[in-house]
Chain A
Amino acid sequence: MSKFKKDSGKSVPGVNTSSLPDIVFMLLFFFMVATTSKEVDPTVQVTQPVGGKTTDLTPYKQRSEIDFLYLGEPRNKARLEDFKMGYALSLDNVVQATADELYTTNAVGQWKKDKFEEKKSRVKVPIEGVITCLKADKGAPTGLIFDIRKELQAINALSIAYAVRDNGNI
C-alpha cells in the first residue's frame, strides 16, 4: 500500500494568459496617470542641494503658472571658460552664449516677458504671480542668482522659487 499516488501520466494544463493584457494595461494606465514627463533635458548639469519643508510646485505647474530656469555647469566642456565662474544659464534649453550677453541684453528679463506674453490668455494671474523656478547647481555662486533676481525685479516678476531636492515625505 503506497501513500502517494503514482504519476498517472496526466500532463500539466497550460497557464491561461488571456488576462495578461488586462494586467499590463492596468500598469500602463497607472504609469501614464501618475507621472509627469520631463519638460526639457537641460543643456547644463544641475545637482540640486537637499532641503526640507519645501513647497510642492505641482499645482502651479498644472496651471502653467511657472517657468523653469536652469543654472549649472555647461555640458559642453569646451565652452566652459566662456561663462562667468564656470556656470551657465539655460533658458528653454538655450545656453547663454557668453556671460556678457546675459547682462547686456537682459536675457532673463526678455525671456520671462516673452514667456508671459505667450501664455497671457490662458493664465489668469498677473506677471507678479507667475513663479520663476530657479534650479541651480549646489556649487553655483549666489551672485549669479541675485543678478537674475534683479532682472526679474526690473520687469515686476516678483515670485521666485529656489528649487531643492526634498527627501522628506510629502
Chain B
Amino acid sequence: MAKREIPEINAGSMADIAFLLLIFFLVTTTMDKDQAYLRNIPKKIVTVTPPVDIEQRNILAIKANSQNQLMVRGEIMSDPNKISEKVVEFYRTNQKRNDVTNNFPMYSRVSSNVIQDNIRRIEIEIESLEAEGAVAEMIEFKYSQMDEWDKKKKSLKLYGGNELPEIQFQANIRIEVQDATEYGLFAKIQTEIEEAIYELRNDEVKRIFGEDYQTIKTRYAQDQVNADKDKLNLLEILYPARIIEVTPKK
C-alpha cells in the first residue's frame, strides 16, 4: 500500500484565536490597585474606667463639622492642605529642645543606661514571677515589655549618640468628625496625617541611612530582612503614629 502523506495543519487562524482571547482579557480586567489607609479599631472595653486626663499640649485635635469646615487645635482652617504642616509642627517643635512655654508635646531622652537598667529590672521581675508560679498572662506581659526595651536598645544603636528622643507617650492625633461630615474630607485628613508622618520619617531615614523610607518599606515587605525591621522600628519610636478616630456623638 502506498504511504499517505499527512496534510499539514493550517495555523493561519491561530492569530485570530489569540486575538480573541487577548481582547477578552483586555476588556474584563482592571489595572487599578487597591490603595487604602490601614487603621486599627480599638478593642471593645467591658468595664468602663474613667478616662485619663491628658494635657492639652499632647493632643492634636482635627475637627470637622457637618458643613465640612475644619478646625485644627482650636483654629479654623479653610485649606485642608495645611493640616500636614500642623502635624509636622506638632512633632518637631520640642524635638531638639524642650520648651515648657509652648503648647506642644514634650520629649524625653532615653539613654543607654536607662535602657540597660530597665531590661535588668524586668529580667529579675520575670524570674521572681516564674518562681512564684504567677499567671501566664502576667509573665507574657512582662516579656512584651522586655521586647519594647529591646527594640529601644537596638534603635539607639542605629540612631547613634547617647540618647534617643522620644515623644510623650500620651501625644496623639485625634480626628473628630460629625455624623454628616463627608467621607471625602475624612479621607483628606487621613491623607494629610499620613503625608506628614511620611515626610518626618523620610527626612530622618535619609539623614541616618541615606535611603528612602518607601524603599526600605517595600524591601522589607518583599524580603523580610531583620536589618530593615530594626530601621522601621527606630522610625516608629521616633515618630509614632497614634491616631484616634473619635466616634461622633448621636
Contacts and interface: CB of A to CB of B under 8 A. Distances in A.
Contact of B43 (A66, A131, A156): A156
Q: Which of B26, B33, B181, B190 has the most CB of A within 10 A?
A: B33
A141 B182 contact: yes
A38 B184 contact: no
Interface stretch (B16-24, B108-116, B131-139, B146-154): B16-24
Contacts of A154: 44
Contacts of B6: none
A159 interface: yes
Q: Is the interface of B mostly helix, strand, loop or mixed?
A: mixed
Interface string B190-217: 1100110010000000000000000000
Interface residues of B, number: 46
A25 B18 CA distance: 6
Q: Is the interface of A mostly helix, strand, loop or mixed?
A: mixed
Contacts of B221: 59
Contact of A141 (B15, B31, B36, B179): B179
A170 B218 CA distance: 10
**Size bin of chain A's contact surface:** 35 or more
Contact of A149 (B22, B41, B190): B41
Nearest to B186: A142
A24 B180 CA distance: 52
A133 B36 contact: yes
A20 interface: yes
A143 B41 CA distance: 15
A21 B182 contact: no
A126 interface: no
Interface string B1-32: 00000000001001100110110011011111
Given A54-B194, A141-B180, A161-B38, 5 more contacts: A27-B22, A140-B183, A146-B247, A156-B44, A161-B36
Interface of A: 17-18, 20-21, 24-25, 27-28, 31-32, 34-38, 49, 51-59, 61, 66, 71, 85, 131, 133, 136-143, 145-146, 149-150, 152-154, 156-166, 170
8 contacts: A38-B29, A52-B194, A55-B35, A55-B38, A58-B33, A159-B41, A160-B41, A163-B36
